[in-house]
A and B are shown apart, each in its own frame.
Chain A
Amino acid sequence: MSAPLLAVENLKVTFPSPSGPVDVVKGISFSLGRERLGIVGESGSGKSMTGRSILGLVRAPGKVSATRLEFDGMDLLKQGEKAMRKIRGARISMVMQDPKFSLNPVMTVGEQIAEALVAHKRLPRREIAARVRAMLEAVRINDPDRVAGLYPHEISGGMGQRVMIAMMLIPEPDILIADEPTSALDVSVQAQVLDIIDDLVRNKGMGLILISHDLNLVAHYCDRVLVMNSGRLVEDCAASELKNAQHPYTRGLLAAQPRLDETRDELPVIDRTTWSAT
């Protein structure tokens, strides 16, 4: 593997509270090459904040600090708002959880995808239309010309999420951050959306950060898995090695999931006292 696209060292995200500052991300380090990295954790583990801090999207009063937060040789923490805007979308982009709240309700799908492209590149109108069409086809929308003219309320959740992916990938970024991209979708649509992300990421040789609470899903779609718990990395392993995970929290998460061929009378519950004593 070549030099990492993204290097993170000792990343901290801090929010003030009445009883003093609280670290929601407590100094984590990882690097990302052109590979698929999964970040798993439960609510409040800091996984989404990790994703957001890379893009400079942690809002005040939240504070991001790190010994190193480097993307392609650039120090992301030193970039101004204007420079960050050039990176967001064009170089690193993010797919959010719920298409219902992330798409603009008063713009057609085609216009929104074109906007994502035009914001970063000046292109002749005909080429824009062609690229939008090609992108919609790439996310397996059968009838791209018709769908481009529809408004977000006229399309289904799965299609909405595919439109989001089209928007995020049309400027051809180096890294795609997908924050729970399928948790608002039905099981049958989930696999389809993830397959599309997987396909596009592999073909374009991009880096992917897939943030999710679903261990199985991450293990299936990623090369490497990070497990987070209350702001710390507790496990960093190859996806294929996940079932041999050592940390009690990871093992607890794996065991707490009901299985299809369930025979256990009771599900093991994570004993929060054993591992949080830090």
Chain B
Amino acid sequence: MTAIHIDNLDVSYGETQITHGVTIDVEEGGSFALVGESGSGKSTVLKAIAGLAPEWRGTIEIFGKPRSHGIEAEFARTCQMVFQDPYGSLHPRKTVDATLMEPLNIQGLSDHNERIAAILKDVGLDNRFRFRYPHQLSGGQRQRVAIARALIVEPKLLLLDEPTSALDVSVQAEILNLLKRLRRERGLTYLMVTHNLPIVSFLCDRLAVMRGGRIVETADAEKLKKGHLQNEYSRELLRLSAPPAV
């Protein structure tokens, strides 16, 4: 089954059109990366899916259902988003417990206590973190809370907006391992935005390279690993991210 079907998507912010005819399809259980520089429109595609960029034309279908232009509780049940900066995306005056309670209340789910304990365990956070505030946590721990908040309503699709770019290398490795394990265990579908090609190699099976709001190439991650991208701009990105000969 197709998890995400996007056809000819044009997103605008006011007068400015950001993306031009973006078309992608992601299979259920797949992990798809949108790659490009700042301003290429890759995050905007995620925002349109999540309902945060309501001005768009074209088709967005999630698990076969057409997406509306706004935010809906029912849709949030199937699709959640994890943002780039764990320092900015958690409410500074809410404990981890209160942060995780909110989506449960919105979705009208019961067994709060059990669900929160279970999800904390799943993202590798000890139960003692449950009543702490964000400022008492490290960057990696905060990102685990953000992932827990997204997963607690048991969605099938995660939108990941540069989930590790604000983290240190060793913490990044932990979060990438976590994301990979959760996807395997829960059969999740990922749509990830990143500018880091090695991360795509590690976590994704397909990718689309974006530039100036357009997709210039869609390819399998295998091609990326072997350096067989076709488009000239993709190859340029590839050349720049290849680790220089140490």
- Seen from chain A, the residues whose Cβ lies within 8 Å of a Cβ on chain B are 42-43, 157, 186-191, 213-217, 219-220, 239-240, 242-243, 252-253, 256-270
Q: A residues within 8 A CB of B173?
A: 256-258, 267-270
Q: State whether A186 touches B37 (Cβ < 8 A).
A: yes
B225 at the interface (CB under 8 A from A): yes
Segment of B16-24, B78-86, B101-109, B191-199 in the binding face: B191-199
Q: State whether A260 touches B225 (Cβ < 8 A).
A: yes
**Closest residue of A by beta carbon distance from B244:** A220
Q: A residues within 8 A CB of B141?
A: none
Query: Can you list 9 A-B contacts with CB-CB less than 8 angstroms, sorted by A residue number?
Result: A42-B170, A186-B195, A188-B240, A216-B243, A240-B246, A257-B198, A259-B243, A260-B225, A260-B243
- Give the shortest distance, in Å, between B92 (CB) and chain A (any CB): 19
Q: State whether A267 touches B197 (Cβ < 8 A).
A: no
Q: State whether B246 touches A242 (Cβ < 8 A).
A: yes
**Closest residue of B by beta carbon distance from A185:** B38
Q: B residues within 8 A CB of A270?
A: 170, 173
Beyond A191-B240, A253-B169, A269-B174, list 13 extra A-B contacts (CB 8 Å).
A42-B168, A42-B169, A43-B168, A187-B195, A215-B169, A219-B246, A252-B170, A256-B170, A258-B196, A259-B198, A262-B201, A266-B180, A267-B176
B150 at the interface (CB under 8 A from A): no
Q: Mark B147-178, 1 if CB is under 8 A from A, else 0.
A: 00000000000000000000011111110110
Known: A213-B169, A242-B246, A270-B170. A258 touches B199 (CB 8 A): yes
Total of A-B residue pairs, C-beta within 8 Å = 93
Q: A residues within 8 A CB of B246?
A: 216, 219-220, 239-240, 242-243
Query: Most B CB atoms within 10 A — which of A42, A215, A220, A258?
Result: A258
- Seen from chain B, the residues whose Cβ lies within 8 Å of a Cβ on chain A are 37-38, 139, 168-174, 176-177, 180, 195-199, 201-202, 224-227, 236-238, 240-244, 246
Q: State whether A260 touches B236 (Cβ < 8 A).
A: no
**Closest residue of B by beta carbon distance from A219:** B246
Q: How far is the CA of A71 from the CA of B6 in the complex (A)?
A: 60
Q: B residues within 8 A CB of A157?
A: 38
- Give the shortest distance, in Å, between B33 (CB) and chain A (any CB): 12
Q: How far is the CA of A107 from the CA of B26 in the complex (A)?
A: 48
Q: State whether B227 touches A257 (Cβ < 8 A).
A: no
Q: How far is the CA of A186 from the CA of B227 in the complex (A)?
A: 20
Q: State whether B240 touches A260 (Cβ < 8 A).
A: no
Q: How far is the CA of A260 from the CA of B168 in the complex (A)?
A: 18
Q: State whether A260 touches B170 (Cβ < 8 A).
A: no
Q: State whether A258 touches B170 (Cβ < 8 A).
A: no
Q: How far is the CA of A229 from the CA of B196 in the complex (A)?
A: 25
Q: B residues within 8 A CB of A217?
A: 244
Q: How far is the CA of A242 from the CA of B243 in the complex (A)?
A: 13
- Give the shortest distance, in Å, between B222 (CB) and chain A (any CB): 10
Q: State whether A188 touches B169 (Cβ < 8 A).
A: no
- Give the shortest distance, in Å, between A98 (CB) and chain B (any CB): 13
| A190 partner, pick from B174, B177, B202, B240, beta carbons under 8 A | B240
Known: A188-B37, A253-B170, A269-B173. A260 touches B197 (CB 8 A): yes
Q: How far is the CA of A6 from the CA of B237 in the complex (A)?
A: 38
**Closest residue of B by beta carbon distance from A191:** B240
Q: How far is the CA of A131 from the CA of B236 in the complex (A)?
A: 34
Q: B residues within 8 A CB of A239?
A: 246
Q: A residues within 8 A CB of B38?
A: 157, 186
Q: A residues within 8 A CB of B174?
A: 269
Q: How far is the CA of A259 from the CA of B203 in the complex (A)?
A: 11
Q: B residues within 8 A CB of A187?
A: 37, 195-196, 237, 240-241
Q: State whether B198 touches A258 (Cβ < 8 A).
A: yes
